[in-house]
């Protein structure tokens, strides 16, 4: 009995460590894509794209559920070419996550009329016919989507909306420019960097009564450490942000 209990505990610990390791690896990979435009562009080659039109996601009906179609980079280029659009429009996409195997996920809205964009909104009816689906308002479809798809689509919608509403610098009035992943916008004139709003969630000091567990980032000045804190990014689950230490090294 004790032997069985010991084996069960070891197996449980193994899977817990494995899940945590996978989460940390994914977080670090996404951080790399957000900070490195070349790495993000490379990830698009093997990634998939979720399409939106006016912040409404493309969905396909299957019995009493909605399925979320995903396009490869090649399929997206063919679609844009068919509607007379340049493949460079793909740079308007935003990074919204990745799989455990590091397949990057992007979202692209082909229907937003943004004053600073050089691209026109694509015709919705023709696109729906071509893609064999419908652009449906997300709040009307939420109960017919699985939890993973709904979470991902809300993340994408929030990030796309943020970019649509932050096209200009609040100081200079000049157009801002997004990075490849869409994790920030920069004003070339004032050099101000704008980030999507993040909500602070928790900060805690872990102690064994004598010592404290602290962390530091590589960007910290020498000798600077901090308590562990978590931030909730757009569309991120509360549990996820509490598991993340922001790429800090623990001491």
pLDDT above 80 for 237? no
- Residue 183 belongs to some domain of the structure: no
Report how many domains make up the chain.
2
Instruction: Decide if 241 contacts 230 (C-beta within 8 A).
Output: yes
- Considering the domain architecture, whether residues 99 and 28 belong to the same structural domain is answered as yes
- Considering the domain architecture, whether residues 8 and 125 belong to the same structural domain is answered as yes
- Considering the domain architecture, whether residues 229 and 154 belong to the same structural domain is answered as no
Q: Which of 22-26, 51-55, 69-73, 164-168 has the lowest mean pLDDT?
A: 22-26
- Considering the domain architecture, whether residues 112 and 162 belong to the same structural domain is answered as yes
- According to DSSP, the residues that pair with 95 across neighbouring strands are 106
Of the chain, the end-to-end C-alpha distance in Å amounts to 38
- Considering the domain architecture, whether residues 221 and 130 belong to the same structural domain is answered as no
- Residue 188 belongs to some domain of the structure: no
Contacts of 19 (CB under 8 A, 6+ apart): none
pLDDT above 60 for 246? no
**Dihedral, 211, 216, 221, 222 alpha carbons, nearest 10:** 50
- Considering the domain architecture, whether residues 81 and 142 belong to the same structural domain is answered as yes
- Considering the domain architecture, whether residues 135 and 229 belong to the same structural domain is answered as no
- Considering the domain architecture, whether residues 146 and 209 belong to the same structural domain is answered as no
Residues 174-195 have pLDDT tens digits of 999 999 999 999 999 999 999 9
Instruction: Decide if 182 contacts 219 (C-beta within 8 A).
Output: no
**Which is more confident, 128 or 234?**
128
Quote the distance between the C-alpha of residue 77 and its chain's center.
21
159 falls in which pLDDT band (50, 70, 90)? very high
- Residue 179 belongs to some domain of the structure: no
pLDDT at 204: 85
Give me 156's structure tokens: 């994408």
Mean pLDDT, residues 143-172 taken together: 92
- Residue 190 belongs to some domain of the structure: no
- Considering the domain architecture, whether residues 127 and 211 belong to the same structural domain is answered as no
Name the domain boundary from 149, 166, 183.
166
- Residue 185 belongs to some domain of the structure: no
CA dist list (Å): 52 to 14, 73, 168 = 40, 15, 22
pLDDT above 60 for 250? no
Name the helix (H) or strand (E) containing 250.
strand 249-250
- Residue 87 belongs to some domain of the structure: yes
Instruction: Decide if 137 contacts 56 (C-beta within 8 A).
Output: yes
Name the helix (H) or strand (E) containing 212.
strand 212-213
- According to DSSP, the residues that pair with 168 across neighbouring strands are 175
- Residue 178 belongs to some domain of the structure: no
pLDDT at 1: 53
- Considering the domain architecture, whether residues 225 and 160 belong to the same structural domain is answered as no
pLDDT above 50 for 149? yes
pLDDT above 60 for 220? yes
Mean pLDDT of the chain, nearest integer: 84
Vertex 185 angle, CA 184 and 191, to 5°: 120
Instruction: Decide if 215 contacts 225 (C-beta within 8 A).
Output: yes
Taking the C-alpha atoms of residue 106 and residue 93, their distance in angstroms, rounded to an integer, is 6
Name the domain boundary from 166, 187, 207.
166
Name the domain boundary from 147, 166, 185.
166
Residues 71-128 have pLDDT tens digits of 999 999 999 999 988 899 999 999 999 999 999 999 999 987 655 555 678 889 999 9
pLDDT above 70 for 158? yes
b/e map of 57-85 (b: 16 or more CB within 10 Å)? bbbeeeeeebebbbbebeebbebbeeeeb
- Considering the domain architecture, whether residues 118 and 235 belong to the same structural domain is answered as no
pLDDT at 64: 84
Taking the C-alpha atoms of residue 239 and residue 236, their distance in angstroms, rounded to an integer, is 8
32-41, 199-208, 218-227, range with greatest mean pLDDT: 32-41
Mean pLDDT, residues 146-157 taken together: 92
**Domain containing 218: what range?**
199-250
Residue whose structure tokens are 């449906």: 136
pLDDT above 90 for 217? no
248 falls in which pLDDT band (50, 70, 90)? very low
pLDDT above 70 for 199? no
44-53, 136-145, 236-245, range with greatest mean pLDDT: 44-53
pLDDT above 80 for 222? yes
- Considering the domain architecture, whether residues 48 and 132 belong to the same structural domain is answered as yes
pLDDT above 50 for 14? no
Name the helix (H) or strand (E) containing 231.
strand 228-232
């Amino acid at each position: 009995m004790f032997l069985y209990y010991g084996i069960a505990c070891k197996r449980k610990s193994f899977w817990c460590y494995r899940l945590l390791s996978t989460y940390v690896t994914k977080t670090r990979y996404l951080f790399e894509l957000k900070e490195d435009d070349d790495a993000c562009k490379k990830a698009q080659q093997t990634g998939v794209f979720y399409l939106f039109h006016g912040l409404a996601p493309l969905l396909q009906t299957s019995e009493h559920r909605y399925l979320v179609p995903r396009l490869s980079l090649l399929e997206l280029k063919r679609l844009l070419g068919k509607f007379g659009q340049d493949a460079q429009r793909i740079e308007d996409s935003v990074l919204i996550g990745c799989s455990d195997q590091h397949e990057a996920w992007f979202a692209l809205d082909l229907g937003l009329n943004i004053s600073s964009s050089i691209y026109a909104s694509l015709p919705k009816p023709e696109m729906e016919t071509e893609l064999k689906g419908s652009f449906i308002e997300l709040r009307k479809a939420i109960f017919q989507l699985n939890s993973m798809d709904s979470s991902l689509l809300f993340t994408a919608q929030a990030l796309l909306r943020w970019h649509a509403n932050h096209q200009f610098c609040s100081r200079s009035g000049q157009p801002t420019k997004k990075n490849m992943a869409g994790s920030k916008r920069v004003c070339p004139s004032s050099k101000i960097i704008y980030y999507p709003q993040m909500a602070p969630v928790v900060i805690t000091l872990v102690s064994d009564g004598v010592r404290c567990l602290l962390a530091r980032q590589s960007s910290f000045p020498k000798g600077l450490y901090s308590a562990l804190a978590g931030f909730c990014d757009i569309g991120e689950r509360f549990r996820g942000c509490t598991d993340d230490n922001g790429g800090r090294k623990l001491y």
